[in-house]
A and B are shown apart, each in its own frame.
Chain A
Amino acid sequence: MPEAVSLLYQFGTNAAFLLLSALGLIVILGMMNIINLAHGEFMMLGAYAATASVQRGVPFPLAVLIAAVAVGLFGVVIERLIVRRFYGRELGALVVTWGISLILGQGALLLFGPFMPPIAIPGGAVALGDYSFSVYWLFLIVLCGVLLAALAFVYRATRFGLQARAAMQNARMARALGIRVDRIYMATFALGAALAGLSGALLAPTTSIAPFMGQQFVAPAFITVVVGGGASVIGGALGSSGLLSLVQTPVAFLFGTFSGTLALLLTALVVIRLLPGGVSSIGRYFTRRSLAAAR
């Protein structure tokens, strides 16, 4: 019994890590068809902002919020100055955001030095049999659910969500209807950046904080996005992180961390071979069917 719980816990933490790593990326891709290669560096900035706040005596939860807001604002600046010139040129956007990531990584090293003091993991642990579980990770798993629900609410029930979905499906039509697509894109990019900052801050206590820490998120985040596909933000994020964790958890348990990550890449190759649109394309297929049936 405790073994089963332990395995479930491992599965949950892996899925939560993948989901948090990829969430901001998926939001930007799904809504704007732009891949933000500086995503890992945005997460790094979030971790730095949270750490700097904690050092100045700010309580950790507040520090996380500060990080999200700060990186979100930074995202607005980047979007206005650079990214908005690359709408509709997906490869150009990839390359230019890579340039940004190089500047941010090295820039953080120059500005803040190679070391940042770590943040202690809040919350301690609970024990079950011989196993102990980190309360913080349990909290993160729950928080992932809350974040997805909040995103679903934003997209389904708010004016912004409606306009964003309209802009995603047909930008020209949305423009003709008087939606300020430009603003929607800016807000979406800011939301994606804020989520990256939030994730970076939330994961900061679990990892060492360094200028090039963003790199460790690149492989898991991008594989999660590829497997998820761009068709549906929430379905893609949830399906992809769940599926990948299902593969990664046993492989990493038996053969070590690297094999776990390699298994992620192999899973991604197999998934795109079978479903070029990612797992979210299944969801979209069913949604369309049910919509059509309801008509």
Chain B
Amino acid sequence: MSDGDALLRAEGLCKRFGGVVAAQSIDFALRRGELRCVIGPNGAGKSTFFSLLCGIQRPDAGRIVFDGRDITRLKPFQRVRLGIGLTFQTNRAFHAMTVAENLETARRGGAAGDDVHFQTALASFGLAAQLERPASALPHHELQWLEICMALRRGPLLLLLDEPTAGMSPAETARTAEVLTALAADGLAIAVVEHDIAFVRQVAQTVTVLHQGAVFAEGSFAEVTARDDVRRIYLGHVHEAAA
């Protein structure tokens, strides 16, 4: 893959917490319209990588380029304003507000881009009919979907999702995967940090495997999961967890 047309490029990202190395030299590139899953066993550095991308943490070394701009030193809200939308592992919609107020708060966070992806997501997730409901009345999976819609509200170029299907039923997970795949097919770049292998199998064109704070493997889902070393560090771990 050529990095020249990458929308997001991370080079040599390092992050230490005290003496614990959470990320050591992560290189990562994402093209426009690409849907990428970032997987890895617990402690592989997925969360650190995510927080480095959205700016909650600053890297000790390395840089991040987004849409041709170096965003390494930018604060989270500045990155969002440049066109990155993101959601968290946990439900963090504003429970005291209605669905519409949540979306309105998301819309006015900065200059708005094209909202075609937002419209697609709102319709596909079936939230358009529930605008007047308080967010606290939505079930868990719809709150997750609401958060995805909020992240898309201002028409970002890149969507960063941290375990978007955590706590969802298989049917809900499949629906999420379907919508995200459609959005990527429409040209949206999406990076998903994920645990759920069923979800990853369904959506991913390319999978990046993190291990011990570095990129361990990268390739198609079939390629990556066929590798013995990947199975050992990651899939073996899943078996243990399942057992």
Contact = CB atoms under 8 A, between A and B. Distances in A.
Q: Do chains A and B touch in the complex (CB under 8 A)?
A: yes
A31 to B, nearest CB: 22
8 contacts: A288-B18, A288-B19, A289-B18, A289-B19, A292-B18, A292-B19, A293-B19, A295-B19
Q: Indicate the size class of the contact surface on chain B.
A: under 10
Contacts of B18: 285, 288-289, 291-292
Interface in A266-295: 285, 288-289, 291-293, 295
Interface string A170-184: 000000000000000
Interface of A: 285, 288-289, 291-293, 295
A292 B22 CA distance: 13
The SS class assigned to the A binding surface is helix
A289 B18 CA distance: 5
A295 B20 CA distance: 10
Interface of B: 17-20
A291 B17 CA distance: 12
Contacts of B20: 292
Nearest to A294: B19
B38 to A, nearest CB: 26
Contacts of A288: 17-19
Nearest to B20: A292
A295 B17 CA distance: 14
A238 B14 CA distance: 34
**A-B interface, 3 closest residue pairs, ranked by CB to CB distance from nearest:** A292-B19, A288-B18, A292-B18
Contacts of A295: 19
A291 B20 CA distance: 10
Contacts of A291: 18-19
Most buried by A among B17, B18, B19: B18
Nearest to B19: A292
Contacts of A293: 19
B213 to A, nearest CB: 14
Given A291-B18, A291-B19, A292-B20, 10 more contacts: A285-B18, A288-B17, A288-B18, A288-B19, A289-B18, A289-B19, A292-B18, A292-B19, A293-B19, A295-B19
A272 B18 CA distance: 21
A289 B21 CA distance: 12
Contacts of A285: 18
Contacts of A292: 18-20
A288 B16 CA distance: 12
A295 to B, nearest CB: 7
Nearest to A284: B18
A285 B16 CA distance: 12
Contacts of B19: 288-289, 291-293, 295
Contacts of B17: 288
A215 to B, nearest CB: 38
B90 to A, nearest CB: 17
A255 to B, nearest CB: 38
A289 B20 CA distance: 9
A60 B19 CA distance: 50
A172 B19 CA distance: 26
A292 B18 CA distance: 6
A54 to B, nearest CB: 50
A293 B18 CA distance: 8
A71 to B, nearest CB: 38
A276 to B, nearest CB: 14
A56 to B, nearest CB: 54
A291 B18 CA distance: 9
B223 to A, nearest CB: 36
A295 B21 CA distance: 13
A190 B19 CA distance: 36
B62 to A, nearest CB: 21
B173 to A, nearest CB: 30
A291 to B, nearest CB: 7
